[in-house]
Chain A
């Protein structure tokens, strides 16, 4: 009941700010960037960022007994040991011996839902992205788990051979062009100081501050979508904009890209859920 009201208020604020920078003519990028920064500051406390509602729902879902085994996710091993959530997100994706796979947060959640809870994940995957009147368990749980790593530094896991393979394949995929426009991730994210329309583009081809700031700010509350979004959605949307086919949710290419991007973002301080346009 409360969420749409907050969403509408946030959107109204965003539109007011957008209108504000359009009337101020010169120089457009600096002005809009400043306004966006001011806007982020305004909304950066937990009581005004609707992303924290997702964190709260995720926390409740984490503790709720579900599935044929009627157990909660509290014994789920996110890499730090069963039930340990603090700091887990900072070291995801990582290799899990029990599955012998490198998994990101969502892949691991689906694995725990299946193996631990005996939950039919078909419906969970169908609701992978929230929409009007449809909540996403995966977005909420990921927000909760990620928030438990806030203030910690991104620590890419690159010890296991499969983690190294993921990083290497992710890098290849970053540069692989395709789709009707011949685009790759690198088309937009491999140069300094570029923008698409008025949107600044972080250079993710080199390790450092741009990659750190980017990766440390997901999951985020997208004002334009009135929804909390995770990296899975960001990459899905990037491939949509690149005119590639639909990527499968929780598939290995997306995890590989995430491993590569975490590698570029090593040491970045996590501050989530953030809030973005």
Chain B
């Protein structure tokens, strides 16, 4: 009895679910038409920002839950888009790094042309443990360098992560700061120092 009832219910759900599911996923051309109608009046340079590259397109289709094969492809592709400092030095000035981490401006359509963008790291991460106003979208990075014993290999990984988060974690929510040209090499070095300099408040 119970089993029959369950099967009947399951069939009913399938029947109801069928047409509804067909509505759930609009085809990509329909979505693109909406996007075009809404953002199409912006300059071509601005519109280019919302044309996803190959990796982001894969993340969008899967809502960030990519398969392991797609994941490998993204890491390979994005690693090739990381460039490391020619002088081999990964750490800049931690005080300047704090300013970059604390600056949420840049890249918004309300910003005057030429606005230097910040990394806005505090929006999502705890860094200096004394700072009260920090976000929790990303993990706490307090004592980051100290906890990692200022290990050079770890430093390189962190540089890679800041430069291109998807080279480390495919479909990471973190911006690809270097590859997307939000931050320049010196800014990334300075943020690196904010994370890794033993004198930085992050490690105090």
Residues of A within 8 A of B (CB): 22, 25, 28, 164-165, 167-169, 171-173, 175-183, 186-188, 191, 193-199, 201, 240-241, 243-248, 251-254, 256
Contact = CB atoms under 8 A, between A and B. Distances in A.
Nearest to B48: A245
A182 B38 contact: no
Given A180-B180, A244-B39, A245-B50, 15 more contacts: A164-B23, A168-B26, A177-B59, A177-B60, A178-B50, A178-B56, A187-B173, A195-B137, A197-B122, A199-B135, A243-B49, A245-B39, A248-B39, A252-B34, A253-B38
Contact of A196 (B108, B117, B124, B175): B124
Contacts of B59: 177
A191 B26 CA distance: 24
B181 interface: yes
B180 A240 contact: no
Query: Nearest 6 CB-CB pairs, A to B?
Result: A245-B42, A253-B38, A178-B50, A245-B46, A251-B38, A181-B175
A93 B101 CA distance: 40
A164 B123 CA distance: 35
Q: A interface, by DSSP: helix, strand, loop or mixed?
A: mixed
Number of chain B interface residues as a range: 35 or more
Q: Which of B25, B41, B50, B59 has the most CB of A within 10 A?
A: B50
Given A165-B26, A195-B136, A182 B175 contact: yes
A34 B60 CA distance: 37
A274 B124 CA distance: 27
A240 B108 contact: yes
B189 interface: no
A175 B63 contact: yes
A248 B41 contact: yes
A249 B71 CA distance: 37
Q: Which of A22, A25, A177, A240 has the most CB of B within 10 A?
A: A177
B26 A254 contact: no
Interface in B1-42: 23-26, 30-31, 34-35, 37-42
A22 B25 CA distance: 46
B81 to A, nearest CB: 13
B30 A169 contact: yes
Contacts of B31: 169, 172-173, 176
B133 A198 contact: yes
